[in-house]
Amino acid sequence: MLTIQASGWNKRKAENLDRTLAKRYIKTVQRIAEATKDLEKLTAELSLQQDTVQTDVQQWTSGGNKRRHQLRRKIAVEKKALEVAINDHNATVGEAEKLPSPN
């Protein structure tokens, strides 16, 4: 009996598959249209142009590891300079005015 029910369910599923997929497609197209409108609205609110955003993203991704490595190196150098400045400051002032370590 169970196999007969499963067979009937599979037959109904195959018969309704085209309608089900068409409904899903229509809903997806509607959601895409709504999302596009929302994106345009947000872009207008933030005064951003889509070309500017794409250019910024392309510049960020084109740098890759080389750019990130340069930024990390620059941050490390500036952090060392900050530590030296804080140590110099702490050496010249009293206990109450000492600054904490940047770490």
Express as a percent the part of the chain with pLDDT over 90. Answer: 19
Give the C-alpha separation, 8 to 16, whole Å.
12
Percent of the chain with pLDDT over 70: 81
For the chain, what is the total number of helices (H) and then of strands (E)? 2, 0
pTM comes to: 0.38
Instruction: Give pLDDT tens digits for 3-52.
Output: 888 888 888 988 999 999 999 999 999 999 999 998 888 877 776 555 66
- Sorted by sequence, the CB contacts under 8 Å of residue 100 that are 6+ apart come out as 86
User: What does the buried/exposed string (b/e) look like for 45-70 if buried means 16 or more CB atoms within 10 Å of the residue's CB?
Assistant: eeeeeeeeeeeeeeeeeeeeeeeeee
Query: 43 and 74: one domain?
Result: no
Q: What are the phi and psi torsion angles at 93 (to 5°)? A: -105, 170
Q: How many domains does the structure of the chain reveal?
A: 2
Q: Do 31 and 67 reside in the same domain of the chain? A: no
Give domain status of residue 81, yes or no: yes
Q: Do the domain assignments include residue 55?
A: no
What pLDDT is attached to residue 52?
Answer: 63
What pLDDT digit, counting tens, does each position of 44-101 carry?
777 655 566 667 666 666 666 777 788 888 888 888 888 888 888 888 888 777 777 7
**Residue ranges making up the domain that contains 79:** 63-103
Whole-angstrom Cα distance, residue 74 to residue 1? Answer: 74
- What is the per-residue pLDDT for 6? 87
Query: What sign results for the dihedral spanned by CA atoms 79, 85, 88, 94?
Result: negative
Q: How far apart are CA 43 and CA 35, in angstroms?
A: 12
